Amino acid sequence: ALRREVLEEVSLPVTQIEYRGSQTWPFPASLMLAYTARATSTQIEVDGIEVADARWFDRPGLREASSSGEVLLPGRASIARALIEDWYGGTLP
Domain-wise residue ranges, the chain: 1-56, 57-93
Q: Which of 13, 56, 14 is nearest to 36 (CA)?
A: 14
Domain 1-56 bears CATH identifier 3.90.79.10: yes
- pLDDT per position as a tens digit, 61-92: 999 999 999 999 999 999 999 999 999 999 99
- pLDDT per position as a tens digit, 7-51: 999 999 999 999 999 999 887 889 999 999 999 999 999 999 999
CB atoms within 10 A of CB 9: 17
Alpha carbons 93 and 30: distance in angstroms, whole number: 27
Q: Which of 78, 80, 75, 55 is nearest to 65 (CA)?
A: 55
Alpha carbons 4 and 26: distance in angstroms, whole number: 25
